[in-house]
Chain A
Amino acid sequence: MTLDLNLLATLPVLVPLLAAVVVLVVDAAVPGRRQPHLWLTAAGLLGGALAVLPGLAQPAGDARGAFCLATGQCLYTADRLTSVLQLTALAAAGVVLALAWGDWGGPSRTGRAPVVAALVLGATAGAAAVPAAGDLGTLLVALELATLPAVGLVALADPRWPAERRARSTEGAVALLMTSLVSFGLVALGAALWVAATGTALLSLPTTRDPVLLLLASVFILAGLGFKLSAVPFHAWTPVTYTTAPLPVTTYLATVSKAAALGAAVVLVRALGEVDETALLAVALMAALSMTVGNLVALVQVDTVRLLAWSTVAQAGWVLLPLASLSSRAVHAAGSYLVVYVLGTLLAFAVVVAVAETRGHDGGGAGTSLDAHAGLLRRRPLLALPLGLALLTLAGLPPAVVGLVAKVVALRPVAGDGTWWLAVVAALNVALGIAVYVRWLARVLGPAPVGAPEPVRVGAAGGGAAGAPARSGAGTDDEVRPAGGEPQGEAAPPHTPARVWVVVAVLTLLVVVWSISPVGIV
Chain B
Amino acid sequence: MTDSLRTAVRQAVDLVPDLGTWWLALALAPLLLAAVTLLAAGRWGEEPGYRSVRTVSVGAAILSAVGVAGTSLHRPRLELPWIDGLGVWLRLGADGLSIPLLLLTALVGVVAVSLHLHVPQPHRPEAPDEEGIATTSPIPVVRGTDVPGLATYHACLLLVVLGALVAFLAGDAILFFVGLELVLVPMWVLVARYGDPGARREGAALRFLLVTVVGSTLMLVGLLGVATLVGTSDLSVWAAQGGAGLEPRTQVVLAAILLLGLGIKVPVFPLHTWLPWVHSTAPTAASVLLAAVLLKLGTYGMVRLVVPVVPDGFSALAPVLGGLGTVGIIWASLACLVEEDLKRLVAWSSVAHLGFVVLGLSTGTQTGLQAALFGNVAHGLISALLFVVVGGLKHRWGDARFTVARAALRETTPHLGAALVLGMAASMGLPGLAGFWAEIGAIYSAWAPADDRPDGWFRLFAALAAVGGALAVAYSARVLHEVWSGDRLEPRVPDAVRTERYALRTLGALVLAVGVLPMLLLAVTAPVTELVVGR
Chain A positions near chain B (C-beta within 8 angstroms): 327, 332, 336, 377, 381, 385, 392, 397-399, 401, 404-405, 407-409, 411-412, 414-418, 420, 423-424, 426-428, 430-431, 434-435, 438-439, 442, 445-446, 459-462, 475-478, 517-522
Interface of A is mostly: helix
Main secondary structure of the interface of B (DSSP, over half): helix
A459 to B43, CA, bound (A): 11
* A439 to B181 Cα, complex, angstroms: 18
Given known A-B contacts A398-B178, A408-B220, A445-B193, A392 and B185 have beta carbons under 8 A apart: yes
Question: Cβ of B213 and Cβ of A420 under 8 Å apart?
Answer: no
A-B contact pairs, 9 of them (CB 8 A): A397-B184, A418-B225, A420-B221, A423-B221, A427-B214, A438-B209, A518-B82, A519-B83, A521-B83
- Contact status B202-A442, CB under 8 Å: yes
> What residue in chain B is nearest A404 (Cβ atoms)?
B181
| Per-residue contact bits, chain B 204-223, to A (CB 8 Å; 1 contact, 0 not) | 00100111011001101111
B261 contacts across to A, CB distance below 8 A: 427
Bound: A445/B189 CA distance, A: 9
Chain B residues lying within 8 Å of A327, measured Cβ to Cβ, are 228
Which positions 172-210 of chain B face chain A at CB distance < 8 Å? Answer: 174, 177-178, 181-182, 184-185, 188-189, 192-193, 202, 206, 209-210
Whether A399 touches B178, Cβ cut-off 8 Å, given contacts A412-B228, A424-B218, A438-B209, is no
Knowing A399-B182, A399-B185, A521-B83 are in contact, say whether A460-B45 is a contact too (CB < 8 A): yes
If A412-B228, A418-B250, A461-B44 touch, whether A475 touches B119 (CB-CB below 8 Å) is yes
A358 to B213, CA, bound (A): 35
Complex CA distance for A424 and B256, rounded to whole angstroms: 12
Contact between A438 and B188 (Cβ–Cβ < 8 Å)?
A: yes
| B residues less than 8 Å from A414 (CB atoms) | 221, 224
Q: CB distance A431 to B82 under 8 Å?
A: no
For residue A332, which residue of chain B has the nearest CB? Answer: B85
Question: Which of chain B's residues have a CB closer than 8 A to the CB of A336?
Answer: 85
Q: How far is B193's CA from A458's CA once the two chains are assembled, in angstroms?
A: 24
Closest A residue by C-beta to B188: A438
Whether A416 lies near B185 (C-beta < 8 A) is no
Please name the residue on chain A nearest to B211 by beta carbon: A431
Is B49 positioned at the interface, with any CB of A under 8 Å from its CB?
no
The answer to whether A434 touches B85 (Cβ under 8 A) is no
> Closest CB-CB distance, A401 to chain B, in whole Å?
6
Question: How far apart are the CA atoms of A381 and B227 in the complex, in Å?
Answer: 40
Point out the residues of chain A lying under 8 angstroms from B132, CB to CB: none
A478 to B46 alpha-carbon distance, docked (Å): 16
Contact: B217 with A430, CB < 8 Å?
yes
* A405-B227 contact, Cβ under 8 Å, with A434-B209, A445-B189, A475-B148: no
A435–B206 touching, CB < 8 Å: yes
With contacts A397-B181, A398-B178, A431-B210 known, is A462 near B82, CB below 8 A? no
Q: Which of B193, B221, B253: most chain A CB closer than 10 A?
A: B221
Given known pairs A397-B181, A427-B221, A476-B148, the reply for A381 and B44 (CB within 8 Å) is yes
14 more A-B residue pairs beyond the given contacts A336-B85, A412-B228, A438-B209, with a C-beta to C-beta distance below 8 A? A377-B43, A412-B86, A415-B221, A415-B222, A416-B228, A427-B218, A428-B214, A431-B214, A434-B210, A435-B206, A445-B193, A462-B46, A475-B119, A521-B85
A285 to B182, CA, bound (A): 31
**What's the least CB distance linking A342 to chain B, in Å?**
17
> With A397-B185, A434-B213, A442-B192 in contact, do A404 and B250 touch (Cβ < 8 Å)?
no
Determine the distance from Cα of A392 to Cα of B188 in the docked complex, in whole angstroms.
13
- Asked if residues A408 and B86 are in contact (CB atoms below 8 Å), the reply is yes
Tell whether, in the assembled complex, residue B148 and residue A404 are in contact, meaning their CB atoms are under 8 Å apart.
no
**Separation of A418 and B224 alpha carbons in the complex (Å):** 10
Instruction: Report B132-158 residues with CB < 8 Å from chain A CB.
Output: 148
Which are the 6 A-B pairs with shortest beta-carbon distances? A416-B228, A522-B85, A415-B224, A427-B217, A398-B182, A430-B217
Question: With A and B bound together, what is the CA distance between A332 and B85 in angstroms?
Answer: 9
- The residue in chain A whose Cβ has the minimal distance to the Cβ of B212 is A431
**B221/A426 in contact, CB under 8 A:** yes
Q: How far is the CB of B258 from chain A (nearest CB, A)?
A: 11
> Does chain A have a CB within 8 A of B451?
no
Considering the complex, give the chain A residue whose CB is closest to the CB of B85. Answer: A522
B256 nearest in chain A by CB position? A420
Is the C-beta of B291 less than 8 angstroms from some C-beta in chain A? no
Q: In this complex, which of B45, B181, B189, B223 has the most chain A Cβ atoms within 10 angstroms of its Cβ?
A: B181
Contact A408 B82, beta carbon cutoff 8 Å: no
Q: A416, B45: Cβ atoms under 8 Å? A: no
A401–B174 CA distance with the chains assembled, in angstroms: 11
Please give, as numbers and ranges, the residues of chain B lying within 8 Å of A520 by CB-CB distance: 84-85
Given A409-B85, A438-B209; A398-B193 close (CB under 8 Å): no
Q: Is B185 a contact of A430 with CB atoms below 8 Å?
A: no
Cα A435 to Cα B189 in complex, Å, equals: 14
Q: How far is the CA of A65 from the CA of B44 in the complex (A)?
A: 53
Take A408-B174, A438-B206, A478-B148 as given contacts and tell me if A420 and B218 are in contact as well, using a CB distance cutoff of 8 Å. Answer: no
In whole angstroms, how far apart are the Cα atoms of A270 and B366 in the complex? 49
Whether the pair B221, A411 counts as a contact (CB closer than 8 A) is: yes
CA distance A476 to B250 in the complex (A): 54
Query: With A420-B257, A435-B206 as given contacts, are A415 and B225 in contact (CB-CB < 8 Å)?
Result: yes
Would you give the shortest CB distance from A75 to chain B, in whole angstroms? 29
A405, A476, A478: the one contacting B86 at CB < 8 Å is A405
Instruction: Tell me the smallest distance from the CB of B209 to a CB of chain A, in Å.
Output: 6
A411 and B85 form a contact (CB under 8 A): no
Taking CB as reference atom, which chain A residue is nearest B148? A476
**In the complex the two chains form, what is the Cα distance from A385 to B214 in whole Å?**
25
Q: Across the interface, which residues of A come within 8 angstroms of B228, CB to CB?
A: 327, 412, 415-417
For B206, the chain A residues whose CB sits under 8 A away are 435, 438-439, 442
How long is the Cα–Cα vector from A417 to B229 in the complex, in angstroms?
A: 9
Contacts of B218 in A (CB 8 A): 424, 427
Chain B neighbourhood of A428, CB < 8 A: 214, 217
B163 at interface, CB cutoff 8 A: yes
Contact across chains for A398 and B185 when beta carbons are under 8 A apart:
yes
Q: A409 to chain B: which residues have CB within 8 Å?
A: 85-86
Nearest chain A residue, comparing its CB with the CB of B250? A418
**Residues of B contacting A399 in the complex (Cβ-Cβ under 8 angstroms):** 159, 182, 185
CA distance A476 to B47 in the complex (A): 13
Contact of B253 among A392, A397, A420 (CB under 8 A): A420
**What is the CA–CA distance of A512 and B234 in the complex, to the nearest angstrom?**
25
Tell me the smallest distance from the CB of B296 to a CB of chain A, in Å. Answer: 19
Are A416 and B225 in contact, CB atoms less than 8 angstroms apart?
A: yes
Bound-state CA distance A521–B43 (Å) is: 32
List chain A residues, Cβ under 8 A from B84.
519-522
Cβ distance B144 to chain A, nearest Cβ, rounded Å: 15
Measured CB to CB, the closest approach of chain B to A245, in angstroms, equals 31
List residues of B (445-462) whose CB comes within 8 Å of A's CBs. none
Tell whether, in the assembled complex, residue B224 and residue A416 are in contact, meaning their CB atoms are under 8 Å apart.
yes
Contact A404 B178 (CB under 8 A): yes
Decide if A431 touches B217 in the complex (CB within 8 Å).
yes
Q: Which residues of B contact A405 (CB under 8 A)?
A: 83, 86
CB-defined contacts of A385 to chain B, threshold 8 Å: 43
Q: Return chain B residues, CB-CB under 8 Å to A418.
A: 225, 250, 253
In the complex, how many angstroms separate the beta carbon of B233 from the nearest chain A beta carbon? 10
Distance in Å: Cβ of A318 to nearest Cβ of chain B: 12
CA distance A254 to B229 in the complex (A): 35
In the assembled complex, the CB of B357 is this many whole angstroms from the nearest CB of chain A, namely 24
Q: Which residues of B contact A442 (CB under 8 A)?
A: 192, 202, 206
Q: Which B residue's beta carbon lies closest to that of A400? A: B185
Q: CA of A520 to CA of B82 in the docked complex: distance in angstroms? A: 10
| A398 engages B214 (CB within 8 Å) | no
Q: How far is the CB of B33 from chain A (nearest CB, A)?
A: 14
